[in-house]
């Protein structure tokens, strides 16, 4: 199969031929149709987060099942699926208490003594997030896919696999935003825009989008923002406090920086909750004023929108088909696998939401 292989930090990837194994008893072979180029991939590509190389990046994808293992009953060849990095075992404490996104059980991967799922010249090649979707095929555990209806466009479905599930889920599942609440979202990339969209679906009365790029703020209005704040034009925290008369009920940080995380906490009214979605670099510390805890302000993390993805993703498909989830506006462009390095360059500028790789 053809794949973009990540071999060295910040060195352009080459499209290479690699080998894919046959599905094991609980594995699924997928023909990749579409894969979004996400900031999480960029964090590993530029070395912000470490990874074991060589590796095939990519984790936000959708495709068609080509083959299944002997013990797979959930999907069959021909089914359309969305992949998810929140692969789950189904029986650990996290899974049994409804926190499947936190499952880390090793049984969803092949063992060190087993043949690698993908390889080159007899040596294993890593699959980012147990997926590796910058390739025309993926071999994954059956608990890494969600089956969807076949009339859903797969380029839009791919975005549900990470950015949409992360943003909408952070609002609905992690923070549990109530109808009528006020919300601020810092960062209007793919995840932040999905947060805005999720807040609108949840019935928030006021949704304030914060970014330094005017074009992204314009886009945020399409996703449901009632107000926008340009972070380059004055103190963003003070603007939000003044607009709301004391702060928002819920804030969301969707960039992954120390300073914006602290701003998200500072934007809260008494009793408010800040939810951190962005991938803050390892080693960075976040500081908040201790006295704020006396006013019941809270700060929490969210991983992949606290998802139950086999339940959530088909529902997000329905919301898209009903016109409530604005996936069309998330797609900045359709590209080929050979354009993936250019897509990373564009993502690093902060000017776009998502490029989507389309496979033949």
CA distance 132 to 59: 6
Would residue 43 show up in a list of annotated catalytic residues for this protein?
Answer: yes
Q: What is the rounded distance in angstroms from the CA atom of residue 101 to the CA atom of residue 174?
A: 11
Which of 21, 39, 40, 99 is labelled catalytic? 40
Check 43, 89, 92, 99 and give the catalytic one. Answer: 43
DSSP per residue, 80-97: EEEE-S----SSSHHHHT
Set 84, 95, 103, 162: catalytic member: 162
What DSSP letter does each residue of 250-309 carry, written as one string? EEEE-S--HHHHHHHHHTEEEEEEEEE-S-PPTT------GGGGGGT-EEEE-SGGG--H
- In the set 39, 59, 80, 173, the catalytic residue is 59
**Rounded Cα–Cα distance for residues 285 and 142 (Å):** 37
The DSSP element (H or E) to which 319 belongs, if any, is: helix 309-321
Q: Categorise residue 198: left if φ over 0, alpha if ψ from -120 to 50, beta otherwise.
A: alpha
Rounded to the nearest angstrom, the gap between the alpha carbon of residue 291 and the centroid of all alpha carbons in its chain is 33
Q: What is the spatial distance between Cα 259 and Cα 255, in angstroms, rounded to a whole number? A: 10
Question: How many CB atoms neighbour CB 66 within 10 A?
Answer: 16
Q: How far is CA 80 from CA 49, 75, 147, 328, 360, in A?
A: 32, 9, 6, 19, 16
103 is catalytic: no
Measured between alpha carbons, how far is 309 from 305 in angstroms, rounded to an integer? 9
The Cα 259–Cα 294 span in angstroms is: 22
Active site residue 249: no
Looking at the DSSP bridge assignments, the partners of residue 273 are 250, 298
- Residue 337's SS3 state is helix
Residues forming the active site: 38, 40, 43, 59, 162
């Amino acid at each position: 199969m053809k794949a973009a292989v990540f071999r060295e930090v910040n060195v352009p990837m080459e499209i290479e031929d690699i080998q894919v194994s046959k599905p094991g008893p609980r594995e699924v072979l997928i023909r990749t149709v579409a894969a979004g180029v996400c900031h999480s991939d960029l964090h590993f590509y530029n070395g912000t987060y470490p990874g074991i190389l060589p590796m095939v990046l990519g984790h936000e994808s959708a495709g068609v099942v080509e083959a299944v293992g002997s013990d797979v009953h959930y999907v069959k060849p021909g089914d359309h699926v969305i992949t998810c990095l929140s692969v789950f075992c189904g029986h650990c404490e996290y899974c049994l208490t409804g926190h499947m996104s936190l499952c880390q059980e090793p049984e969803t991967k092949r063992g060190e003594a087993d043949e690698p799922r993908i390889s080159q010249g007899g040596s294993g090649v890593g699959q980012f997030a147990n997926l590796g979707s910058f390739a025309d095929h993926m071999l994954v555990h059956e608990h890494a896919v969600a089956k969807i209806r076949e009339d859903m466009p797969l380029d839009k479905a791919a975005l549900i696999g990470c950015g949409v599930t992360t943003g909408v889920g952070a609002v609905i599942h992690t923070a549990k935003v109530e109808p009528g609440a006020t919300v601020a979202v810092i960062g209007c990339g793919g995840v932040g825009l999905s947060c805005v969209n999720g807040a609108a679906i949840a019935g928030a009365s006021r949704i304030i989008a914060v970014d330094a790029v005017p074009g992204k703020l314009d886009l945020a209005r399409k996703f449901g923002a009632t107000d926008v704040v340009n972070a380059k034009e004055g103190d963003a925290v003070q603007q939000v406090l003044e607009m709301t008369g004391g702060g928002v009920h819920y804030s969301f940080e969707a960039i992954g920086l120390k300073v914006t995380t602290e701003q998200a906490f500072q934007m809260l009214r008494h009793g408010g909750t800040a939810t951190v979605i962005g991938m803050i670099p390892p080693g960075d510390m976040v500081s908040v004023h201790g006295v704020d805890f006396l006013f019941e302000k809270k700060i929490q993390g969210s991983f992949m929108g606290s998802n139950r993805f086999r339940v959530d993703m088909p529902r997000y498909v329905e919301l898209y088909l009903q016109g409530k989830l604005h996936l069309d506006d998330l797609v900045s462009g359709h590209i080929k696998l050979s354009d993936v390095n250019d897509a990373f360059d564009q993502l690093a500028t902060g000017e776009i939401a998502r490029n989507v790789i389309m496979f033949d």
